[in-house]
Amino acid sequence: MQHHAIHVIHHRKQRWTATKTFLLCVLISAVGVSLFFVFRGNNGNNTLQTVLVGRGDVVQEVSVTGRIKPVQDINLGFEQMGKITRVLVNIGDKVLPGQALIQLDTSGLSVQLLEAEAGVESQVAKLNELQRGARPEELKIKEAELEKAQKDLTNYYASVYDVLSDSYAKADDAVRSKTDALFTNDDTSMVQPAFSITNSQVQVDLTAGRLLSGQELSAWKSELAVLTSDVPREKFELSLNSAKKHLAIINNFLGTALDAVSNSAGVSLTDITTYKANIAVGRTNVNTAISNISSQEQLISGQKITVAKNEQELALQRAGSSTEQIAGQAASVKQAEAKKQEITVQIEKMTLRSPIEGLITKQDGKPGEIVSPNVSIVSIISQNNLEIEASVPEIDIGLVTIGNPVAVTIDAFQGEMFRGKVSYIDPGETIIDGVVNFKITVVFDIPDLRFKTGLTANLAIETLKKTDVVVVPQFAIVENDEGTFARKIEGISARDVPVKLGIRSREGNIEIVSGLREGDRVVNVGFKPK
């Protein structure tokens, strides 16, 4: 059967003669028979397709691509300077909330805490004495206790010179005796290593360390020369602190000397063994000196507290107490307790802890290093709490609002669909390849433990949804310079009908606002027959 093309009628008015009318009727009958086969198709040879205008749901979407990233990316550092004593995690470790990561040296604070605890005990004892009142026999006992405490403190101060002298001797022996064989002209400014060192930096550090150690010993000797028994007690305390600094520098030099021997060239195994043994003895003696000085400081500090406590208790016992005194002492107890709590908090802050469950992505701390305040040394990401970050072009961002549902497909999980919603829209623009974009964040409705940071995520953002509206396939719409039309079937013909469009769905349907009604048949002009 021969197929006939459909005539499109644009509301033309024609005048028909009586003769032409008859011929037209014959033609219409023939075309009507042909259209039946054209519109329905016949044996796969149809050239046109028509569709019925129906009703349905239309979802408007914005499609972009993003990447999965952690919801939390936290950088951690200490509030104050300190020396690292322990590193408890490495990059890649999983951590829990509150888990210790890095610890700083708390020895100084620990002494302060002991003092604070003693202070609390002292203040509480005073309060008890005020409330109870003193008896004569108690006064005598307290006076004897104070006398003994003062005598012990005097003896501790008197021992400082001996401790310092012994420490100086150990340090001097370590520098001038135990390492003499490592240098030529060791007591001059022209000091040089006695052998070749393969590491140039170690060689520089060794020479500088020897010169500095000699200077420290000279300065220390001068300090000891003026340290007589009649100097103020504060001078003894300052001398102890200064001695620790001298010893620290010398101990560092000995460590460098050991490195130099390990990196020596042209030295016999026997000599190397001898050098290392001498250095080890020197380091042991220096460490012993440091320990002796610290012990002497603790003895003096503790005894000062004991003396002060006894003095205060005795004064209270002698003076008696009043209601005002008792109230004042109760306040002193609270102050002492607050001081103790403050130091306790400071000690706790010397341990860096994880605030979340996550994964360590950076760890820059090493034992012995000095950290600066407010400098990030550990980074943690929330491994099981992830989100998607994507960029939406300027042309589409006006359609997107917080709360929009999002259909998510992930390249790594083909065939699976995940759901989420828009949680954040960055108000500031980002320029990508010369195009203005705005970053958005999408959170998952249901987290999936399979997700990993960096995975590519394809987002279909549902920006608008209309239900039960008039719809047609997009291929049934003609859009050109003359306007927007649908080719509506009317009898045996079709005519171009202007239509007003609404939203479009990614499935290919378009909302018809006006121009067509449900049940109308239109030509699917974009249909491509096989």
- DSSP line for 265-314: ES--HHHHHHHHHHHHHHHHHHHHHHHHHHHHHHHHHHHHHHHHHHHHHH
Q: Which residue matches tokens 């000995």?
A: 254
Q: What percent of the chain has pLDDT over 90?
A: 53
DSSP lists the bridge partners of residue 444 as: 420
167 CB-near residues (< 8 Å, 6+ apart): 243, 247, 289, 290, 292, 293
Tell the burial category of 281 from Cβ atoms under 10 Å away from its Cβ (0-12, 13-18, 19+): middle
Count of other CB atoms within 10 angstroms of residue 261: 24
Residue 182, CA distances (Å) to 53, 155, 287, 514 in order: 99, 41, 21, 99
pLDDT-derived band at 270, boundaries 50, 70, 90: very high
DSSP lists the bridge partners of residue 87 as: 102
- Residue 133 confidence (pLDDT): 64
- Residue 8 confidence (pLDDT): 30
In this predicted structure, the answer to whether residue 49 has a pLDDT above a threshold of 50 is yes
Quick check: 111 and 345 in contact, CB under 8 A?
A: no
2 CB-near residues (< 8 Å, 6+ apart): 34
105 CB-near residues (< 8 Å, 6+ apart): 82, 83, 84, 85, 350
Q: Angle at the Cα of 195 (from 193 to 197), degrees rounded to 5?
A: 85
Query: Check: CATH 1.20.1070 for 134-319?
Result: no
- Report pLDDT digits (tens) over 272-323: 999 999 999 999 999 999 999 999 999 999 999 999 999 988 887 777 667 7
pLDDT-derived band at 529, boundaries 50, 70, 90: low
- Report pLDDT digits (tens) over 223-243: 999 888 788 889 999 999 999
In this predicted structure, the answer to whether residue 486 has a pLDDT above a threshold of 80 is yes
Indicate yes or no: pTM above 0.85: no
Nearest to 160 by CA among 228, 248, 219, 246: 228
Q: Which residue matches tokens 């802050």?
A: 349
Q: What is the mean pLDDT of residues 524-529?
A: 68
Nearest to 443 by CA among 465, 432, 463, 459: 459
Delimit the domains of the chain by residue range.
1-48, 49-71+385-530, 73-104+351-380, 134-319
In this predicted structure, the answer to whether residue 446 has a pLDDT above a threshold of 70 is yes
In this predicted structure, the answer to whether residue 437 has a pLDDT above a threshold of 90 is yes
Q: Which residue matches tokens 């460098």?
A: 256
Residue 360 is which amino acid?
Answer: I
234-237: list long-range contacts, CB under 8 Å, 24+ apart.
236/157, 236/160, 236/161, 236/300, 237/297, 237/300
Residue 361 phi, psi dihedral angles, 5° rounding: -110, -15
pLDDT, mean over the chain: 84
Quick check: 97 and 355 in contact, CB under 8 A?
A: yes
Quick check: 138 and 129 in contact, CB under 8 A?
A: no
In this predicted structure, the answer to whether residue 448 has a pLDDT above a threshold of 60 is yes
Q: Options 1.10.3720.10, 3.20.20.70, 2.40.50.100, 1.10.760.10; which CATH number does 73-104+351-380 get?
A: 2.40.50.100
Distance between CA atoms of residues 360 and 351, nearest Å: 16
Distance between CA atoms of residues 466 and 283, nearest Å: 82
Distance between CA atoms of residues 54 and 469, nearest Å: 8
Task: Kindly state the helix (H) or strand (E) to which residue 164 belongs, with its residue range.
Answer: helix 160-172
- Residue 103 confidence (pLDDT): 93
Quick check: 313 and 125 in contact, CB under 8 A?
A: yes
pLDDT-derived band at 528, boundaries 50, 70, 90: low
- Report pLDDT digits (tens) over 372-428: 999 999 999 887 788 999 999 999 898 899 999 999 999 999 989 999 999 999 999
Q: What is the mean pLDDT of residues 100-111?
A: 91
pLDDT-derived band at 188, boundaries 50, 70, 90: low
Residue 498 phi, psi dihedral angles, 5° rounding: -60, 135
- Residue 11 confidence (pLDDT): 30
Residue 198 phi, psi dihedral angles, 5° rounding: -70, -25
Beta strands in 271-417 (DSSP E): 351-353, 358-363, 370-371, 378-381, 386-393, 405-410
- Is beta strand 378-381 parallel, antiparallel or unpaired with respect to 94-95? unpaired
- Residue 43 confidence (pLDDT): 38
- 72: which DSSP letter? -
| Weakest-pLDDT range from 116-125, 171-180, 259-268, 486-495 | 486-495
Nearest to 500 by CA among 518, 486, 517, 512: 512
Nearest to 318 by CA among 55, 155, 164, 133: 133
- 58: which DSSP letter? E
Q: Options 3.90.1150.10, 3.50.50.60, 1.10.3720.10, 2.40.30.170; which CATH number does 49-71+385-530 get?
A: 2.40.30.170
